[in-house]
Chains A and B, each alone.
Chain A
Amino acid sequence: MSLEEKVRDIIVDKLGVAPEKVKPEAHFIDDLGADSLDTVELVMAFEEEFNVEIPDDDAQQITTVKSAVDYLGKKIGE
Chain B
Amino acid sequence: MIISVASGKGGTGKTTVATNLAASLGKGVCLLDCDVEEPNAHLFLAPNVTEADEILTFVPRIDEEKCTGCGKCSAICRFRALTVVRGKVLVFPELCHSCGGCVAVCEEDAVLEEWRVLGTLESGQAGDIKFVHGRLRIGEAMSPPLIKAVRKKGFTADGITIIDAPPGTSCPVIAAIRGVDFVLMVTEPTPFGLHDLKLGVEAVRSLGIPYGLVVNRADIGDDRVRNYAARENIPILLEIPFERKIAEAYSTGRMIIDVLPEWKGRFVELYGKLAACAGN
Task: Say whether A and B bind each other.
Answer: no
Interface residues of chain A, those whose CB is within 8 Å of chain B, are none
